[in-house]
Amino acid sequence: MTYVEGFVIAVPKANKDKFIAHAEMGDAVFMEHGATRVLECWQDDVPEGKQTDFFRAVECKEDEAVVFSWIEWPDKATREKGMAAVMDAMNTDPRMDPEKNPMPFDGMRMIYGGFQPVVTLGG
């Protein structure tokens, strides 16, 4: 069954193009290690909540946008093997090298986790 790794980050609006270039380079590594799909989604219609919201979750500043991303894997076992390979690639693959492909956002405010789908409709 499909397994999903989800991420929410705050990216400086001025870094949108840098973020896209960073994602295009780095996301290919996930695909090479078993991911079936990667989506990087830039804030478009994100409301501010009264108690909690995406902005608060990542301490989004006025000059930043929320990015909601996920990686789809065929199953959790493939994700475990794939993520281990991606972590290894941090030391060997220039696409994952922070010197060559720096994160254009504060990674300390990223929230992420693995999720098992419980309802799936459509393709």
Q: Does residue 64 register a pLDDT over 90?
A: yes
CA distance 116 to 46: 24
Which pLDDT value is given to residue 6?
97
The residue assigned the tokens 């790794």 is: 5
What values do phi and psi take at 112, rounded to 5?
Answer: -155, 165
CA distance 58 to 10: 6
> Could you give the domains of the chain?
3-115 (3.30.70.100)
Q: What band does 90 get if pLDDT is binned at 50, 70 and 90?
A: confident
The number of beta carbons lying within 10 Å of the beta carbon of residue 75 is: 12
Which pLDDT value is given to residue 106?
93
Helices 76-89, 16-32: axis angle to 10 degrees equals 120
Model pLDDT for residues 2-54, shown as the tens digit of each residue = 999 999 999 999 999 999 999 999 999 999 999 999 999 999 999 999 999 99
